[in-house]
């Protein structure tokens, strides 16, 4: 059975996550996805062409020798609607990109198709947290804090211990927690603030500088180390600078060799599509799943109704990550 194209379009409205490989610009990812979707949509056979009515005159000899003229009406498919004349059915699919990833970093990139672009703005304005893993290396400092930048300083790193590093990270997180309280726009002495803090969904309500809500060391083997970060309103450059500052605070230098986003709001690595799967069927499936997860979460929220602040899924979802990170 032929699936009408309008159905395909309706199924496409929504959000999904792709895994952006390092070294590829996010715009290229978006354009590839758009091109693939368009190609698949245009390969669906077009609707039947309009019929054009033509009158074909024919003359017949009457019985008494007179000629009779008759016009026969026939309908032929109009050439104007021929696929080669009309061109592809679709020229554009609206594909939007969530919080960006720069070319050097890799990880989850949220894309929206069609009506999903509206939800994307909702996702952005809800100030969800994102998880990153940062690969760092002690001993060198570079100009743009990444491994590709110009080298500006070398130093020793033998004196650094894991204990040192963790103590520093705790201090940094404390400072960020204060900033979080400042930007979350709630009165600290209120019941509301208490409830939010208990739930861990204390988040900046409007524009704020980048704030780390969680920071820990995953792996330490000098000169290499790996940090796990939860944050809001960040840029990848900010995270690289964080690694650089960690190096400076430990009386050494460090640069970042990799930024990898492992969660963006509700989207985790599990449902991200690798570049082999940026095709229409896989994207439709991913969108379907994210929609059903969304609905399930909304139903859960409305049934519990404990916190009036929790309006949508992302805020609630972030609470898991944030509560683990924010110390009491």
Partner 1 sequence: MASVRVWQRCSGLLLSRTVLSVPVPNQRLRLILRGSTPLLLSEQSRLRAFALSHAAGQNESGPSSPTANRLVPNRALTEPLPVLEDLDGAPPLSPFEELSEEEAVQIVATPPLPPVSTSLRDYVAQSETLSALVQLGVNLSKLDHRPNVGSMLLRLDLQQVQERLLFLRDLGLQDSDLGPLITRNPFILTETLENLRARVSYLQSRRFSVEAVGSMVRRAPYLLNFSVQRLDNRLGFLQKELGLSPHKTRDIVTRLPRLVCGSLEPVKENLRVYELELGFRPNEIQHIVTRIPKLLTANKRRLTETFDYIHNTMAVPHMLIVKFPQVLNTSLLRIKERHLFLQHLGKAQYDPTLPGYISLDQLAALPDPAFCAQLAAASLEDFELFQKML
Q: DSSP states of 248-289 as a string?
A: HHTTS-EEEEEEEEEEETTEEGGGEEPGGG-SHHHHHHHHHH
Give yes or no for a contact between 316 and 126, defined as CB atoms under 8 angstroms apart: no
For partner 1, the binding residues (CB under 8 A) are 19, 21-24, 52, 55, 57, 59, 67, 69, 71, 78-80, 82, 84-88, 106, 260, 269, 272, 274-276
Nearer to partner 1, 157 or 267 (CB): 267
The Cα–Cα gap between 116 and 41 comes to 18
Instruction: Please state the closest distance from residue 89 (CB atom) to partner 1, in A.
Output: 11
Catalytic residue positions? 102
- Least distance in angstroms from the C-beta of 109 to partner 1: 12
If the CB atoms of residues 178 and 219 are measured against partner 1, the closer one turns out to be 219
Rounded to a whole number of angstroms, the minimum distance from the CB of residue 260 to partner 1 is: 8
**Which residue from 130, 85, 80, 93 is spatially nearest to 264, judged by alpha carbons?**
130
Q: Which is nearer to partner 1, 52 or 311 (CB)?
A: 52
CA distance 206 to 93: 31
From the CB of 70, what's the least distance to partner 1, in Å?
A: 9
CB of 52 or CB of 161, closer to partner 1 = 52
Q: Which is nearer to partner 1, 81 or 301 (CB)?
A: 81
* Residue count of the chain: 328
Name the 3-class secondary structure at 104.
Answer: coil
CA distances from 188 to 127, 208, 321, 327 (A): 20, 18, 22, 16
CA 134 – CA 315 distance, rounded (Å): 24
CB of 197 to partner 1, least distance (A): 33
Report the DSSP pairing between strands 106-113 and 95-97. Answer: antiparallel
């Amino acid at each position: 059975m032929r699936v009408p194209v309008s159905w395909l379009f309706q199924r496409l409205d929504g959000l999904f996550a792709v895994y952006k490989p390092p070294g590829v610009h996010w715009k290229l990812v978006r354009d590839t996805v758009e091109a693939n979707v368009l190609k698949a949509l245009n390969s669906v056979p077009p609707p039947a062409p309009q019929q054009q009515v033509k009158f074909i005159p024919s003359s017949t000899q009457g019985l008494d020798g007179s000629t009779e003229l008759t016009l026969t009406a026939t309908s032929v498919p109009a050439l104007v609607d021929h696929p080669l004349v009309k061109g592809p059915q679709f020229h554009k699919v609206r594909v939007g990109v969530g919080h960006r990833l720069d070319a050097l970093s890799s990880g989850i990139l949220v894309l929206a198709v069609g009506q999903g672009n509206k939800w994307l703005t909702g996702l952005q304005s809800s100030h969800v947290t994102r998880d990153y893993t940062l690969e760092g290396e002690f001993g060198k400092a570079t100009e743009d804090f990444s491994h590709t930048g110009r080298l500006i300083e070398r130093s020793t790193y033998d004196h650094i211990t894991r204990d040192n590093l963790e103590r520093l990270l705790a201090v940094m997180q404390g400072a960020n927690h204060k900033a979080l309280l400042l930007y979350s726009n709630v009165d600290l002495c209120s019941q509301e603030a208490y409830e939010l803090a208990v739930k861990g969904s204390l988040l900046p309500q409007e524009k704020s500088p980048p704030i780390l809500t969680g920071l820990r060391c995953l792996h330490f083997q000098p000169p290499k180390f790996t940090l796990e970060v939860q944050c809001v309103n960040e840029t990848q450059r900010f995270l690289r600078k964080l690694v650089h500052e960690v190096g400076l605070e430990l009386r050494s230098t460090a640069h970042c060799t990799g930024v990898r986003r492992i969660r963006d709001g509700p989207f985790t690595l599990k449902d991200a599509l690798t570049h082999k799967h940026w095709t229409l069927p896989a994207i439709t499936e991913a969108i379907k799943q994210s929609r059903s997860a969304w609905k399930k979460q909304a139903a859960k929220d409305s049934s519990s109704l404990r916190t009036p602040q929790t309006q949508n899924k992302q805020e609630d979802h972030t609470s898991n990550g944030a509560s683990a990170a924010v110390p009491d």
